[in-house]
Amino acid sequence: MTGTRAGYRYAKAVLDYAKEQNALEAVSADMKDISATINGSKELQDALQSPIIKLSDKKAAVKEIFSGINAVSEGLIDVLIENNRINLLKVVAEKYIILYDKMRGEEVAVVTTAVPLSGELEQKVLAKVKELTGNNATIENKIDESIIGGFILRVGDLQYNASIANQLNNLKRDLHNNAYVS
């Protein structure tokens, strides 16, 4: 994903500043709203990424859409606009949420499966995440039939792909590479 390193740095700075201002929860709520709003609007995503749309128009739109947010969150938007990095707003919001949850000792484990997780399997995943990270986790189950079977586990920036589709792709790549060796 483009801008993840810069997005992480902005998110870390906002988290530190929100901690100083005793506004961690309010900023977290703002970041969740910002992330959900941008994810829910293809037009907004395109507008923020567009090099054609004037920065002043982006600023006006973002200020209007996210009016009434905490001063720390508003300051983030101002800094992103001033540095011509408003296209990173979604990434910064998502990274902030991850950092905030991690600071509180919580993780969100995104498990992608071909079929919904059973309660028993969900408990096993939670136990494995606790073992790997040392933090409690909540499960977000995404259904993607294209993975055929198995699962993809994503916790923070870590990803483990045990899907059948991934195994088939690896096998195909190995066969293709070995065909030229002989």
Check which CATH number belongs to the domain holding 114 and give it. 3.40.30
Q: What's residue 181's pLDDT?
A: 61
If asked whether residues 147 and 68 sit together in one domain, one would say no
Q: What's residue 182's pLDDT?
A: 53
pTM above threshold 0.85: no
Q: What's residue 53's pLDDT?
A: 92
Q: At residue 179, does pLDDT exceed 80?
A: no
Q: Which helix (H) or strand (E) holds 17?
A: helix 4-20
Q: Which domain covers residue 14, as residue numbers? A: 4-101
The residue among 101, 127, 145 that closes a domain is 101
- The rounded mean pLDDT for the chain is 89
The residue among 66, 101, 136 that closes a domain is 101
Q: At residue 1, does pLDDT exceed 70?
A: no
Q: What's residue 20's pLDDT?
A: 95
DSSP 88: G
CATH number at residue 26: 1.10.520.20
Q: Which helix (H) or strand (E) holds 138?
A: strand 136-143
Integer Cα distance of 182 and 177 in angstroms: 10
If asked whether residues 27 and 86 sit together in one domain, one would say yes
If asked whether residues 13 and 94 sit together in one domain, one would say yes
The string of pLDDT tens digits covering residues 75-128 is: 999 999 999 999 999 999 999 998 998 888 888 888 999 899 888 888 888 888
If asked whether residues 56 and 77 sit together in one domain, one would say yes
Integer Cα distance of 129 and 45 in angstroms: 32
If asked whether residues 176 and 129 sit together in one domain, one would say yes
Task: State the alpha helices, DSSP H only, in 21-163.
Answer: 24-39, 42-49, 55-65, 71-82, 89-103, 119-133
| Longest Cα–Cα distance in the chain | 66
If asked whether residues 116 and 92 sit together in one domain, one would say no
Q: At residue 180, does pLDDT exceed 70?
A: no
The total number of structural domains that make up the chain = 2
The residue among 101, 121, 145 that closes a domain is 101
Q: What's residue 176's pLDDT?
A: 87
